[in-house]
Amino acid sequence: MPALDVTKRNLSFNSLGKDQSFPLRVWTQTSVPNQQNTQQDDAKKCCEEEEFDEVGRYQDFHTIDWLREICRNKLRHRQIYLRKFDSCFNRIRAFHDAISAWLLVLLIGLAAGTCAGLIDTTAKWLGDLKVGKCSTFFYMDKYACCWNVQLDRRKCPEWQTWAEIFVNLTEGQTYAFNYFAYVVGAIILSTLAAILVKGYAPYACGSGIPEVKTILGGFIIRGYLGKWTLLIKTVTAPMAVASNLSLGKEGPLVHISACCGNVFSALFPKYYSNEAKKREMLSAAAAAGVSVAFGVPVGGVLFSLEECSYYFPMKTLWRSVFCACVSAFILAHLNPFGPRHTVLFYVHYTQPWHLFELIPFAFLGMMGGLYSAAFIHANLAWCKFRKNSRLGDYPILEVMVVTLITAVAGYQNPYTRIGATPMIYELVKECHPWETNNLCDYMKTNANVTNPHDAPIGNGLQTAVWQLFVAWVFKMVITTFTFGLKIPTGLFIPSLGVGALMGRLVGIGMEQLIWRFPDCPLWSHDCHEGHSCVIPGLYAMVAACASLAGVTRMTVAAVVVMFEMTGGLRYIVPLMLCVMCSKWAGDIFGHEGIYDGHIGLNGYPFLESKDEYFHTALVDDVMHPRDNDPPMSLVREEMTIGELDELVKTTSYNGFPVVSSRDNKHLIGYLYRKDLILALKNAWAYSPNIDEDSVVFFTLHAPGVAEYTLNDRNPIRLFNVVDLSPVTVRVNTPMEVVVEMFTKLGIRQALVTHNGKIAGIVTKKDVLRHIAVLHGEDPDAILFD
């Protein structure tokens, strides 16, 4: 009686039962095994035959094996292309397969642009709704409502504050009423957002970038990029922004874009069924996220490349650019009342910068780096406290309290009362002679002077300086408590805001310094009386860039985002300088950016490809088991179903090496736990005549079937689920080589051999824990495998 191939049976069953299309063909192809050249066939099959319904899927909170996924995709690709000329249907399928990447990035771009447009519009409307409403069309925000009277800019009778609508009050009472409405509005919005997030999509909280980065690094968090998260985050992000908390919509937009990428990939089996391929699309989606957040496609792509993505082949670069452009294009066309430029803060300075200004720019860079180091440490400490104390049990209450404080304290300062985005725009702008706001209130000693800066500060500016300083301190403190609340919280805008406030202050200071001491040799050559010399707005821009770069530890992406915003290469040298200073100053206190910090806080297994490994350990210092016992292994031809069931029940390993015999443990292959469990389940369900003592063998052909079929028990063949070419390293390989292999190949585990015999297993978790120990960190903080 021939051996029963359980997996094959199961597969044919499955494929006939519910999913005829793909697995069936794979199996019929291999159903007549070639008797010659067995070893080679075996290995080919290994790669081909694992393609069935559930085998090869990953569990939640587990790491994927990039190499295996890439191998699976190549099999799929081969299958389709070999059959391309068989029939018209197959030809269409091949064509569909070829263009599906472009279709998918197009869809992602369209969706990301649309979501961003929706969020933008809703956030503005809700934000204004705290203050008043449009009497003509209630669904219009203040800008749209007053669109017709833009030219006048002063009076807009269509827009009414709540005090104007409901009651006739004195001026003081109006202020109090509006203040009250503002605070209550903010609390309602943020509480509603917190309730929605807690009730419907807990994953929709936070910025999402740490998790997106972890997922792109090859980790599975089911539901994190699901439709519910997409929906709830799209709904709650504008509420959170409108409640004037110190947060932005930029991080959440990256998460939302990634959700779009995941949701739409369900339409394309090529991407849905392959975790590595799916991540290529998620990288493109992340690029689209930043692209729509700021209107900077190239900056978005570089953000995805530098900060988010792990595996970024060249074709992904190209598709990311496409995706980012499509989304920015859509956003620009969805925004009928917006400015003509699609970038968030389009500024065009009329003057160049001077060489001596590199000194204050470097200072601002360093300040940005120091601020961000302090922020990262404080925020991580607070988040750790929240996690480990009872505070974490009351997320809604926490949101309410933070909103209350932010709104009550923020309303009294004009720079915190308006949203962070318009505030930053105010700060980075140049003062033109016709401008009348406080920031441009200089004492015009000479009416002929066209330059408003070349003068002592006026009363308005004096007030403004004081307000800016208060706003700066307040923003610094409150952002620390805001990032990590259980609502969508982005960090780009608050970081830019803190930086811009400081930069503007320093800029005004520089300007006054030059005005007071015009003969200082540093600037006497560049600055002349009656002519502009420094632009405080540029200082705000530079400091904003430094602060952003410090907090996120982006470098190139931060510079490119800022230079796309300023629309020119003219200021690239100051921007680069400040980013470099910020990075150097920040690195003194730790190389970790805020996102890496949060990844560590959550215990995700993220192997940073940017870090270098400089230690002398060998792989046998790191592998498990450490003692000289080889690891729990499956023996090729000797084990029984009972033994396997026992093994699965008593251990929690993610996979088992398959060895040649109990004594001579030559490595044959590797079997994933999940695949083994599935195969055993199927064996019990569909194989006749088996019991606990049935022999299982992991070879292609039963090597003497007769002796295993005693008592009418059929032997079970589990060859098809064994990976015959696991990555192996020799027992005396230095860890630096092993780390290189883990980072570059994206493998999940490597088998350690000694003269061909299995000596141990080293997993990604082992590597991460080893690195944590070397860095003096707690290795048990890495929770997942």
Residue 96 or 615: which CB sits closer to a second copy? 615
Residue 261 or 295: which CB sits closer to a second copy? 295
CA distance 89 to 663: 53
* Residues within window 301-360 making contact with a second copy, judged by CB under 8 A: 301, 305-306, 313-315, 317-318, 321-322, 325, 328-329, 342-343
Please answer whether residues 424 and 542 qualify as being in contact, where contact means their C-beta atoms are separated by less than 8 angstroms: no
CA distance 696 to 724: 17
Residue 487 or 750: which CB sits closer to a second copy? 750
CB of 163 vs a second copy, minimal distance in Å: 42
The three-class DSSP label of residue 484 is: coil
* Residues within window 665-704 making contact with a second copy, judged by CB under 8 A: 666-667
- Tell me the one-letter amino acid at 640: T
The three-class DSSP label of residue 256 is: helix
Residue 146 or 735: which CB sits closer to a second copy? 735
CB of 483 vs a second copy, minimal distance in Å: 24
One character per residue 170-209, x = contact with a second copy (rule: CB under 8 A): ----------------------------------------
Residue 756 interacting with a second copy (CB under 8 A):
yes
CB of 215 vs a second copy, minimal distance in Å: 19
CA distance 777 to 125: 46
Query: Cβ contacts of residue 81 below 8 Å, gap of 6+?
Result: 94
- Tell me the one-letter amino acid at 418: I
Please answer whether residues 675 and 619 qualify as being in contact, where contact means their C-beta atoms are separated by less than 8 angstroms: no
Place of tokens 């409502």: 145
CB of 472 vs a second copy, minimal distance in Å: 29
Q: How many CB atoms lie within 10 A of CB 218?
A: 25
The three-class DSSP label of residue 723 is: strand
In this chain, which stretch among 250-258, 482-490, 528-536, 609-617 interacts with a second copy, using CB under 8 A?
609-617
* Residues within window 410-469 making contact with a second copy, judged by CB under 8 A: none
Select from 227, 609, 637, 673 the one that contacts a second copy (CB under 8 A).
609
- DSSP-assigned states of every residue in 401-419: HHHHHHHHHHTTSHHHHS-
CB of 523 vs a second copy, minimal distance in Å: 19
* Residues within window 706-725 making contact with a second copy, judged by CB under 8 A: 724-725
Q: How many CB atoms lie within 10 A of CB 286?
A: 34
One character per residue 93-122, x = contact with a second copy (rule: CB under 8 A): ------------------------------
CB of 311 vs a second copy, minimal distance in Å: 10
Please answer whether residues 10 and 54 qualify as being in contact, where contact means their C-beta atoms are separated by less than 8 angstroms: no
Query: Cβ contacts of residue 171 below 8 Å, gap of 6+?
Result: none
Residue 753 interacting with a second copy (CB under 8 A):
yes
Per the omega criterion (within 30 degrees of 0), is the bond before 625 cis? yes
Select from 381, 397, 573, 588 the one that contacts a second copy (CB under 8 A).
573
The three-class DSSP label of residue 695 is: strand
Residue 628 interacting with a second copy (CB under 8 A):
no
Edge to edge, what strands does the sheet with 749-754 contain? 728-730, 749-754, 757-763
CB of 303 vs a second copy, minimal distance in Å: 12
Residue 37 or 652: which CB sits closer to a second copy? 37
Residue 626 interacting with a second copy (CB under 8 A):
no
Please answer whether residues 9 and 718 qualify as being in contact, where contact means their C-beta atoms are separated by less than 8 angstroms: no
One character per residue 525-564, x = contact with a second copy (rule: CB under 8 A): ------------------------------xx--xx--xx
CB of 660 vs a second copy, minimal distance in Å: 7
Over its C-alpha atoms, the chain yields an Rg (Å, rounded) of: 31
Residue 572 interacting with a second copy (CB under 8 A):
yes
Q: Which CA distances in Å does 604 have to 512, 580, 768? A: 50, 29, 10
- DSSP-assigned states of every residue in 189-214: HHHHHHHHHHHH-GGGSB--HHHHHH
- DSSP-assigned states of every residue in 144-173: HHTGGGTTT-S--TTEEEHHHHH----HHH
CB of 590 vs a second copy, minimal distance in Å: 17
The three-class DSSP label of residue 5 is: strand
Q: Which of 418, 437, 225, 210 is nearest to 307 (CA)?
A: 210
Residue 81 or 272: which CB sits closer to a second copy? 81
CB of 135 vs a second copy, minimal distance in Å: 35
CA distance 709 to 701: 14
* Residues within window 7-66 making contact with a second copy, judged by CB under 8 A: 39-40, 42-44, 46-47
CB of 438 vs a second copy, minimal distance in Å: 32
Residue 625 interacting with a second copy (CB under 8 A):
no
Residue 619 or 695: which CB sits closer to a second copy? 619
Residues in the interface with a second copy (CB under 8 A) total 80
- Tell me the one-letter amino acid at 660: S
Residue 530 or 756: which CB sits closer to a second copy? 756
CB of 564 vs a second copy, minimal distance in Å: 7
* Residues within window 66-85 making contact with a second copy, judged by CB under 8 A: 67, 70-71, 74, 77-78, 81
Select from 358, 400, 408, 580 the one that contacts a second copy (CB under 8 A).
580
Q: How many CB atoms lie within 10 A of CB 172?
A: 8
CB of 55 vs a second copy, minimal distance in Å: 17
